[in-house]
Structure 1
Amino acid sequence: MKPLVSIITPCYNSADFIVETINSVISQTYENWEMIIVDDNSSDNSRELVEELIKENHKIQLISLKENGRVSNARNVGLAAAKGKYIAFLDSDDIWLKDKLSLQVSIMEEKSLVLTFGAYKRIDEAGEIISITIIPPTTVNYKQLLGHNVIIFSSSMVLKSALDGIVLKNVGHEDWVFWLDLMKKNIIGYGIKEELIYYRIRKGSVSSNKLKVIGYTWKILRESEKLGFIESVYHFTKYAFATVWKRLR
């Protein structure tokens, strides 16, 4: 029996994208999965669209929150409900390629890995490809991740038992802090060179707002990771150069 993968998808006002995202999971060549969609009190018809798809696929479940608690809380709710050996995160506007789970589980089982992440292309709101394939490093550890978050959340898969109480914090760049917390346990992330996902860039998102990214990055280095001023400047500079280089590709 192949291991169960729990897919956690927070959803807030994602009616324009959520159906395509869910269909990219349904189309996976790997079959032993559960998808936990946590609707964060959407004000559009996201929830109704999910409910329609659930009627046709029993492996999808919907958790509807009565109050908006932001994306970190929604992901934590999904984590608490997950039953799988592995956790795979998928944002409500990203798209998986059909062999994503199959390839990732195969590699992690064969090599007994805790964390993997993969190559990706960026797409815009209309679904048009706007970048070349971004290839991740072969490995990344805590110190290397401080210089740049190379792990696209929707491409990641992690062994659930390794989390051992680690949850997402309600901060900017919560995914980056989540991986930093995990890697403090001397865990190494392994990059898969094959393209696994399409990562959507939306207008007004945190990832598209450069000033917010700068502020969050500095705050994490100083407050979350408690680095000294000089060390923070060093890693912040590395992060800035890496971000500019990534946007040029």
Structure 2
Amino acid sequence: MTSNMPLISVIIPVYNVELYVKKAINSILNQTYSNLQIIIIDDCSTDRTYEIVQNISKLDSRVLILRNKINSKIVKTLNYGLEYARGEYIARMDGDDICSADRIEKQYSFLINNPEYSLVGNHVYTINENDEKIGHVKFPTDFFTIKKTIKLTSPVLHIWLAKSEVYKKLKGYREIPGAEDYDFLLRMLSEGFKFINLDSYEYSVRVRNGNTTSTIGFQQRLMSNYVLELFDERKKFNIDRYSEADVIKYLDKYKKHKSNFDKSNEYLRQAFNSKVHKNYIKMLSMIFMTVITSRFQLQYMLKRLIFKIKV
């Protein structure tokens, strides 16, 4: 791929990922599609993350580094990066994950050859702190299945490539922490945009202590339910009640269930670790403890199971 190809802006929010960020960014710098604007936004890291990305930027002019004045969390960080995006397409990447070398080229080629779609993702591997593959996740690769399963879980992982016009139409992400990507896709569907996944594995998601993938927080569970309520209301009544105040009200309504969820999440973490060490009896027992401790975890795991069967 040469520089006469359209510019693609890659948004990479980072926070305290000093052990992984160099490998993550290098997997973008070494893409076969080279006409990239790489926007890295540091959310006030307290480790060496910012220093590392600064050093990387000195070696490649495609890298732009931004830094929040205060720790602002994911939504504000993403929208801050979007303000500087100049590309015809927007790609997402996390600061502790790894892309295949031709991920962006494949996603871009798909969108060019299938203009009815405005966003494309792909299947993913899961890896641990040592880059060891511990699993994989498949996503639907036809739009019919996406529409059929979208109320079960987000049908495209957030490491997609999208036309910039979509971001302009939706005005970026909304302050729905833990489900801002799911909300983005549901709003796309409400606006008539189509999205899909490549039938290939182009990305590795790191599961580690402290990141979203491993903790899968209570707030994320609640917000996934919340954005589905908004989606149904738009479809039935052509209204959208979203506001930051409404989000706070919704979270407050269910906060009494958080302690049980936290207990169940620890069981889930132990289940992940047991799978890595091939202790399947303990893995199953920890999964059982997970689902009987929190109805929100049970709801999530049932939806995921149905999703996997349908996909």
Check whether the contact 1:121–1:199 (CA below 8 A) recurs between aligned residues: yes
Check the 8 A contact 2:124/2:204 in 1, yes or no: yes
Where do residues 203-214 of structure 1 align in structure 2 (5 Å cutoff)? 203-209=209-215, 212=218, 213-214=220-221
2:197 counterpart of 1:219: no
Between structures 1 and 2, the one with greater helix share: 2
**Matched pairs, number:** 239
Q: Does 1:26 align with 2:29?
A: yes
SS in 1 for 2:16: coil
Matches within 5 A, 1:1-249: 1-112=4-115, 113-132=117-136, 134-139=138-143, 144-154=149-159, 156-163=160-167, 164-171=169-176, 172-209=178-215, 212=218, 213-222=220-229, 224-225=230-231, 240-244=301-305
TM-score normalized by the length of structure 2 = 0.70
> What is the rounded CA distance, in whole Å, between the counterparts of 1:151 and 1:205 in structure 2?
19
Q: Report the Cα offset of residue 73 of structure 1.
A: 0.7
Identity of aligned residues (%): 24
State the Cα distance separating 1:28 from its structure 2 match.
Answer: 0.6
Secondary structure of the 2:82 match is helix
In the TM superposition, residue 14 of structure 1 has moved relative to its aligned partner by 1.3
Change (3 A) 1:105 1:64: same
- In 2, distance between residues paired with 1:135 and 1:95? 18
User: What displacement does 1:142 show?
Assistant: 5.6
* Displacement of 1:165: 4.0
**Cα shift readout 1:105-147 (whole Å, capped 9, x = no counterpart):** 1111122131111111111122111114625332265664222
Residue 135 of structure 2 aligns to a residue whose secondary structure is: coil
- With over 3 angstroms needed to count, the CA separation of the structure-2 counterparts of 1:165 and 1:133, relative to structure 1, is closer
Distance 2:139 2:148 in 1: 19
Q: Which amino acid aligns with 1:120?
A: V
Once the two structures are TM-superposed, the CA of residue 151 in structure 1 deviates from its matched residue by 1.2
CA distance, structure 1, for counterparts of residue 137 and residue 149 of structure 2: 21
C-alpha contact 1:40 1:68 (8 A) present in aligned 2 = yes
Provide structure 2 residue ranges, at least 5 long, that are not aligned to the other structure: 235-296
Moved more, 136-145 or 51-60: 136-145
Maintained 8 Å contact 2:182/2:224: no
